[in-house]
Amino acid sequence: MSAGEGTAFPFDAVVGQGDAKLALRLAARDPLIGGVLLRGQKGSAKTTLARGLAALLGDAPFVDLPLGATEDRVVGTLDTRAALTGGDIRFEPGLLALADGGVLYVDEINLLPDHLVDVLLDVAVSGENVVERDGVSHRHAARFVLIGSMNPEEGELRPQLLDRFGLCVEVTAPTAIADRVEAVRRRLSFDAGGRTDIPADPSWSAPSSPDTDLGDRGPGIEVSDEVLEAASRLAVEVGAEGLRADLTLCRASAALAVLDGRDEPTLDDLRRVAPLVLTHRSRRGPFDPPVTPPDEIERAVQDALDRVDPGDVDERADEDDAPERGPGAGPERPFVVGSARRPPSAPVNSDRSSRGRMVRDEPAGRASPIAVVPTVRAAAARRHLDPDATLDGSDLRTAVRVAPRSRVIVLCVDLSGSMGAPDRADAASGTVLGLLADAYERRDKVGLVTFRGDAATTVLTPTGSIEVARNRIDGLLTGGETPLALGLREALRVAERATDDTTDALVAVLTDGRATGVGGLDAALEVAADFTRSAVDGLVLDCEHGANRLGLAGRLADAMGARHVAVSDLAPAHITQTVRSFARSPR
């Protein structure tokens, strides 16, 4: 075993990444800031920084949450079976309990189910995990720094979740040769002997140690009216919704002041943390970029801070129209952040640990979670027939739940050299983006398969990211024969790969039904029959035009067991609306 094996690469030894290091230190200093999202390409030291932070916190726990983890594995489970049969409730801790006092790291967090991301963000801020099962609950401390990393090419987080991350940083690998050489030299030196010859950052003092809980920050510090107003002006300037941006700006500025050994944040602190807080909070619509370019944030910061006049703030504080305070309210308390006192626990959503809506109950198996109310009801019914009966295993019931379903839509488009191919190409591009705009608030995904010449191509693997789609579908090529069979086979393959037990899939084929390549129409009809044996729904968008119509698209729809609709208007908005309406009403 090398000296570096099993030991985290030193946080300060990572070359560059100043913004990422600062964001992680701020979140460790004040967990109320919320989690840190590291966005960037693979191999840019995101995981190394996360592990290094845990070591910086006095060799605190480092828990790597796998994408395939179940909800019970994450939050923990309650064994209510023992309680109902005369024993005590037993709590089996999950990953949140293991991360207490350290770092919880989720690589590719954009691929984690939304409800789990919600749970992680809730617990990261509150510092407490509550597990509930049918009215029985257990709570335990779970104070950790939540770090999520993602590659934007694999899809974006929903905007509601993106906004809940306190800080966001774009992480890229160094491009300068000297920096890359130095990064490799340090890594090789560390792997060989555990040395990097990089001194620790003197401005950093770890907020916790093995004997100190994460979150023990000492006394809070006051934020001046000047910084408060500047933070609010800045949030408004970039179009941030709600007050989360204002609060995070103030908390992050205060944490930065503490790191620098000062007892009050300044406008310079606010200016330094603004890009970390605001870059992911200025998106107004689905076609806006998920993060704002740094130069735009810098302009917004400059404009907002230039309008802050300390004299005006003091003058307004003395105006007679200030809100009245009730009698006996005492002196007004300063706005304080970073205090060691934790806020009251937020109300717990009792549905957050469920796996969907309960539709019925059934006898519980040996490993099934127990539904308390149905179990009591079953026992009461048996005692009505036999007053001396006591609760036994035959009374135990478990809940049957239905999880919310998402959709995968694969658009399959004929881009052969037949008349109207350019219009179909434009319709394909516009429809994909239109469907993704509709999926903006959900976890739905859209893909694109085209066929022309002698091949079918997956232009876009199903994704929920408008940015990824826009990059992939630009400049679609047209011309050549019409290998309809290959297009259908590829679209079905893509749809089936993207589905699971909680996903409905639809393949929408934009074609006039003509097939001039690779087996012609007979081969296409044979492949179409495969749809009837799959769980994938079908829709044929018949774009045949002219007086003498052959009706081939209708034959294709019949063979697929699909719905058939004529589309004389190839405008993307019209195609989008047609596909959307059929996707919402699966056969």
Give catalytic residues, as residue numbers.
244
Which residue's structure tokens are 């009706």?
Answer: 551
Phi then psi for 16, rounded to 5 degrees? 70, -145
Which residue's structure tokens are 């189910």?
Answer: 113
Specify burial of residue 445 (Cβ count, 10 A radius: 0-12, 13-18, 19+).
buried
Taking alpha carbons only, the member of 69, 148, 142 closest to residue 106 is 148
Q: How far apart are the first and last CA of the chain?
A: 59
Phi then psi for 524, rounded to 5 degrees? -65, -40
Give the number of other CB atoms < 10 A from CB of residue 24. Answer: 24
Distance CA 539, CA 561 (A): 9
Q: Give me the torsion for CA of 85, 88, 92, 93, rounded to 10°.
A: 150
546: left (phi over 0), alpha (psi -120 to 50) or beta: left
Q: Which two tokens stand for residue 345?
A: 């626990």
483 within 8 A of 518, measured Cβ to Cβ: yes
Q: What angle do CA 323, 327, 333 make, to 5 degrees?
A: 60
In Å, how far are 14, 42, 45, 108, 477 from 173, measured between CA atoms?
Answer: 11, 9, 8, 17, 34
Phi then psi for 6, rounded to 5 degrees? 80, 0
Spell out the residues 6+ positions from residue 5 whose beta carbon is closer than 8 angstroms to its own.
Answer: 191
Spell out the residues 6+ positions from residue 180 whose beta carbon is closer than 8 angstroms to its own.
Answer: 173, 174
Distance CA 149, CA 133 (A): 31
371 within 8 A of 134, measured Cβ to Cβ: yes
Residue type for position 166? G
